[in-house]
Amino acid sequence: MPPESPELRVGALELFLAFTRITLSSFGGALFWSHRAFVERQRWLTEQEFAEILALAQLLPGASGVNLAVLVGYRFGGSRGAFASLAGFLAAPFFVIMVIGMLHQRYGELPLVHAALTGMSAVAVGLLLAMGVRMTTVLRTRLPWLFVTLTFVGVGVMRWPFLAVVGALAPFAIAASWRGRQA
């Protein structure tokens, strides 16, 4: 049964094709391209909605891109949309990686291949940084920055376990967000 609240309905084929396009162009990670597709181009999601879905996708176990595909698919098409999004997210990369693996096995020792892979890693870092900068526009108030800082200090500086830090901070962040929406 599809969710009851979404105003916009997106068909399973549209979701499949959207995620197929994203994964075929998402060198360096699908988050940047997902944001561009769903917020900027198709306007299926607002900045805030994307940030909330992305946060949940990153908290759930597994790859955040896969989780994002399932959550977006379910948001717009229920279980059928979730399966279509997941299939679109996984099918094309599966075949591309199989071909690249065979090519790398045969030509991977060539210096030109090493240089190309080094260049692609720099592009991937740039796309990740661009996504990070874009997501900061959602953090317009000081309160979200407080939780970002506390998480960074807990995990990055104090070296506490990620799940413990997020588990401790999440109830407070949810309460603060809920209280902010009620005001």
Residue with tokens 């809920």: 178
Same domain flag for 41 and 87:
yes
Structural domain includes residue 2: no
Same domain flag for 63 and 98:
yes
Q: H/E/C letters for each residue in 111-122?
A: HHHHHHHHHHHH
Same domain flag for 86 and 162:
no
Same domain flag for 104 and 160:
no
Same domain flag for 133 and 145:
no
Distance CA 53, CA 65 (A): 11
Same domain flag for 164 and 131:
no
Structural domain includes residue 74: yes
Same domain flag for 106 and 157:
no
Same domain flag for 109 and 175:
no
Quote the pTM value: 0.61
- Enumerate the H helices of 2-141 as residue ranges: 12-25, 30-35, 47-59, 64-107, 111-135
Instruction: Note down the domain range covering 46.
Output: 12-138
Same domain flag for 148 and 167:
yes
| CA torsion angle 106 24 35 117 (round to 10) | 20
Same domain flag for 113 and 167:
no
Structural domain includes residue 182: yes
The pLDDT profile of the chain, 183 residues, written as one tens digit per residue, is 444 444 678 899 999 999 999 998 876 678 888 999 999 999 999 998 999 999 899 888 888 899 999 999 999 999 999 999 999 999 998 998 899 899 988 888 888 888 888 888 888 778 777 777 777 766 677 777 888 889 989 998 999 998 899 889 988 888 887 777 766
Tally of residues, the chain: 183
Same domain flag for 156 and 133:
no
Distance CA 18, CA 12 (A): 10
Number of domains in the chain: 2
